[in-house]
């Protein structure tokens, strides 16, 4: 199944048809791509709490018709963040679940406010209205929500999910509706200093103070880019791992890739590009990292790859859920937006007043004393979130693309973008094609703990298994499905027609246009 949708003057692509419809409604009312992205993300914050939400973080790339800008709305640790206390309790890494210390101040709402302030046309209240209606009146549980709803319902504050038994069951989220109404009526302070913020401070028991929430937490930053396949590919700078996508693309472009993606050597060379790019990520990625795309270093890493065998990296270097959406409007503005809880419902800690589930992005911090990414007050953790945007040599917008998938996000995008740009595949085929990923069988955020031990997980239908095993890879066959990400893509054809695809792995995703 590889359906590409076409539209002449605007398109929204997301993991849920309700969100895509809300975004399209804003385009039809004269809203910008930024307006549509906010409306779609707000609906996802209601209907897809197993992937994203008001308690999560956000990154976005925007092409305004002339330039590319990047928005970092990832939260910072609270003033009470104390790595010595965690170490004294016996922790060697940040707690993965059930611990509010892995919850940085959620950046999602500050991201919406900044995106709207620079690029919005419609009132924020209008953008949030579809999400408020769904949270108040109810929405159908998606098939992917059902799997985690029972565990969420057992946690304090998770009562919104107590009645979810099957896809289509009605879910209401009155606390989320109140939080959205506070944002619509009183701006970002209505959220961060209102009911949600007060509950977060109380739940943190010293982890946060009101000043942590009072300070706006989103920044416009300079995006990273690399040239690949005759285009410029853009992503986020650190603290995002976006550099891994760009480095992998730059390394792979200098290799002799087979003409067909079905050839095992195609998967081998791309996987080796991803491995050599990322094996030292835990040592080098932090919010102040610089110069990760040095051409000499890219050449050096590429020179270690052998088309005939798997590379031994030489020892260790130092299931996540997210949602990605993209929009292009009739004026040519494109938004590539990714928003996340990290692991499924996040930390499985719920803000007690509104029932908003809180992310666990703090798992990206290190607990090694003196590490540049060490957990501490006011710091941003390394992030897996990797939105992408592609421009033509003349600077015009070619594509907006991204995926969920924890550590595997750059690996999935490496495959999708290579299929699109090098092999000329239509978006639907590039998105639906079987994928590989570097797997550990762990959390989805531990790929680089021991990169030489990573198994190459292969999605059924790829046909690479025997060839990759002969090249020295340990391979594991897995079913086609959401564990390989939900990628979405909108491509601008040379005649201006939009061609888009939502990932069929999401089951209820939609690319819709006007």
The answer to whether residue 25 sits within a structural domain is no
The boundaries of the domain holding residue 299 are 221-321+384-513
Q: What count of other Cβ atoms lies within 10 Å of the Cβ of residue 198?
A: 17
The answer to whether residue 476 sits within a structural domain is yes
Distance CA 294, CA 432 (A): 33
In whole angstroms, how far apart are CA 458 and each of 241, 313, 461?
Answer: 23, 21, 9
**With 0-12 CB in 10 A as exposed, 13-18 as middle and 19+ as buried, what is 333?**
buried
Structure tokens at 22: 């809300």
CB 48 within 8 A of CB 482: no
Identify the pLDDT of residue 121.
98
- Confidence band of 159 (pLDDT split at 50, 70, 90): very high
Helix 195-204 / helix 174-192 crossing angle, nearest 10 deg: 90
The answer to whether residue 492 sits within a structural domain is yes
Distance CA 445, CA 453 (A): 14
Distance CA 425, CA 433 (A): 10
**With 0-12 CB in 10 A as exposed, 13-18 as middle and 19+ as buried, what is 120?**
buried
- Confidence band of 482 (pLDDT split at 50, 70, 90): confident
Given a cut of 90, whether residue 441 has pLDDT beyond it is no
Distance CA 191, CA 201 (A): 13
7 φ/ψ angles, rounded to the nearest 5 degrees: -155, 150
Residues 195-212, mean pLDDT to the nearest whole number: 98
Identify the pLDDT of residue 443.
79
Distance CA 173, CA 271 (A): 42
Identify the pLDDT of residue 490.
98
Residues 151-175, mean pLDDT to the nearest whole number: 97
Q: Is 160 helix (H, G, I), strand (E, B) or coil?
A: helix
Distance CA 464, CA 478 (A): 13
Given a cut of 50, whether residue 315 has pLDDT beyond it is no
Measure CA 393 to chain center: 26
CB 10 within 8 A of CB 24: yes
Q: Report helix, strand and coil shares of the chain as percent, to nearest 5.
A: 40, 20, 40
List, in order, residues 6 or more apart from 322 with CB less than 8 Å away. Answer: 51, 52, 338, 339, 340, 341, 342, 384, 385, 404, 405, 406, 409
Mean pLDDT score of the chain: 95
Name the one residue in this structure whose structure tokens are 């081998």.
268
Residues 268-290, mean pLDDT to the nearest whole number: 95
Active-site residue, from 226, 322, 418, 440: 322
Q: Is 2 left (phi over 0), alpha (psi -120 to 50) or beta?
A: beta
Our CA dihedral for 45, 49, 52, 56, rounded to 10 degrees, sits at: 90
Give the lowest-confidence range in 120-134, 190-204, 313-327, 460-474. Answer: 313-327
Given a cut of 90, whether residue 313 has pLDDT beyond it is no
Distance CA 270, CA 244 (A): 12
The answer to whether residue 154 sits within a structural domain is no
H or E element, residue 338: strand 334-342
pLDDT in tens, 229-243: 999 999 999 999 999
pTM for the whole thing?
Answer: 0.96
Structure tokens at 326: 């993209």
Distance CA 58, CA 52 (A): 9
Distance CA 229, CA 250 (A): 9
Question: Residue 476 is part of a domain; what is its CATH number?
Answer: 3.60.20.40
pLDDT in tens, 70-103: 999 999 999 999 999 999 999 999 999 999 999 9
User: What does R_g of the chain's alpha carbons equal in angstroms?
Assistant: 21
Q: Is 257 helix (H, G, I), strand (E, B) or coil?
A: coil
pLDDT in tens, 109-152: 999 999 999 999 999 999 999 999 999 999 999 999 998 999 99
Identify the pLDDT of residue 157.
96
CB 405 within 8 A of CB 437: yes
List, in order, residues 6 or more apart from 265 with CB less than 8 Å away. Answer: 257, 258, 307, 467, 471
Given a cut of 90, whether residue 219 has pLDDT beyond it is yes
Identify the pLDDT of residue 286.
94
The answer to whether residue 229 sits within a structural domain is yes
- Confidence band of 318 (pLDDT split at 50, 70, 90): very low
Given a cut of 90, whether residue 439 has pLDDT beyond it is no
Structure tokens at 391: 């421009």
104 is catalytic: no
The answer to whether residue 404 sits within a structural domain is yes
- Confidence band of 321 (pLDDT split at 50, 70, 90): low
Domain count, the chain: 1
The answer to whether residue 474 sits within a structural domain is yes
The answer to whether residue 469 sits within a structural domain is yes
Give the percent of the chain with pLDDT over 90. 92
């Amino acid at each position: 199944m590889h359906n590409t949708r076409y539209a002449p003057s605007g398109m929204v692509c997301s993991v849920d048809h309700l969100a895509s419809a809300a975004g399209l409604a804003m385009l039809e009312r004269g809203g910008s791509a930024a307006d549509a992205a906010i409306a779609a993300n707000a609906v996802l914050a209601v209907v897809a709490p197993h992937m994203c939400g008001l308690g999560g973080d956000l990154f976005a790339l925007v092409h305004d018709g002339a330039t590319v800008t990047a928005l970092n709305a990832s939260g910072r640790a609270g003033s009470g963040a104390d790595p010595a206390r965690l170490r004294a309790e016996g922790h060697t890494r940040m707690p993965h679940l059930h611990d509010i210390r892995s919850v940085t101040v959620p950046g999602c709402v500050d991201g919406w406010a900044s995106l709207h302030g620079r690029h919005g046309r419609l009132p924020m209240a209008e953008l949030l209205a579809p999400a408020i209606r769904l949270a108040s009146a109810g929405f159908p549980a998606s098939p992917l929500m059902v799997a985690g709803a029972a565990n969420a319902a057992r946690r304090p504050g998770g009562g919104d999910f107590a009645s979810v038994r099957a896809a289509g069951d009605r879910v209401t989220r009155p606390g989320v509706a109140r939080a959205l109404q506070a944002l619509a009526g009183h701006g970002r302070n209505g959220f961060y200093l209102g009911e949600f913020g007060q509950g977060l401070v109380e739940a943190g028991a010293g982890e946060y103070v009101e000043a942590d929430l009072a300070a706006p937490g989103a920044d416009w930053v300079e995006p990273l880019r690399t040239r690949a396949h005759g285009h410029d590919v853009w992503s986020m700078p650190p603290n995002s791992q976006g550099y891994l996508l760009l480095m992998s693309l730059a390394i792979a472009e200098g290799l002799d890739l087979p003409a067909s993606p079905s050839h095992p050597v195609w998967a081998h060379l791309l996987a080796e590009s991803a491995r050599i790019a990322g094996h030292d990520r835990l040592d080098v990625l932090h919010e102040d990292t610089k110069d990760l795309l040095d051409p000499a270093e890219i050449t050096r890493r590429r020179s270690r790859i052998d088309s005939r065998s798997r590379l031994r990296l030489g020892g260790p270097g130092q299931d996540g859920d997210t949602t990605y959406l993209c929009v292009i409007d009739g004026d040519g503005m494109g938004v590539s937006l990714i928003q996340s809880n990290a692991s499924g419902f996040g930390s499985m800690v719920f803000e007690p007043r509104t029932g908003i589930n809180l992310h666990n992005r703090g798992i990206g911090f290190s607990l090694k004393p003196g590490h540049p990414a060490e957990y501490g007050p006011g710091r941003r953790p390394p992030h897996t979130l990797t939105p992408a945007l592609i421009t033509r040599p003349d600077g015009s917008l070619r594509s907006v693309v991204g995926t969920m998938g924890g550590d595997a996000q750059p690996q999935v995008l490496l495959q999708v973008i290579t299929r699109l740009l090098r092999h000329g595949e239509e978006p639907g085929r590039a998105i639906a094609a079987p994928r590989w990923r570097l797997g550990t069988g762990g959390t989805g955020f531990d790929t680089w703990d021991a990169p030489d031990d990573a198994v190459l997980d292969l999605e059924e239908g790829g046909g690479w298994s025997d060839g990759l095993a002969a090249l020295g890879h340990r391979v594991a066959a897995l079913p086609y499905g959401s564990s390989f990400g939900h990628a979405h893509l909108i491509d601008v054809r040379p005649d201006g027609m939009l061609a888009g695809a939502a990932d069929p792995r999401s089951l209820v995703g939609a690319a819709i246009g006007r």
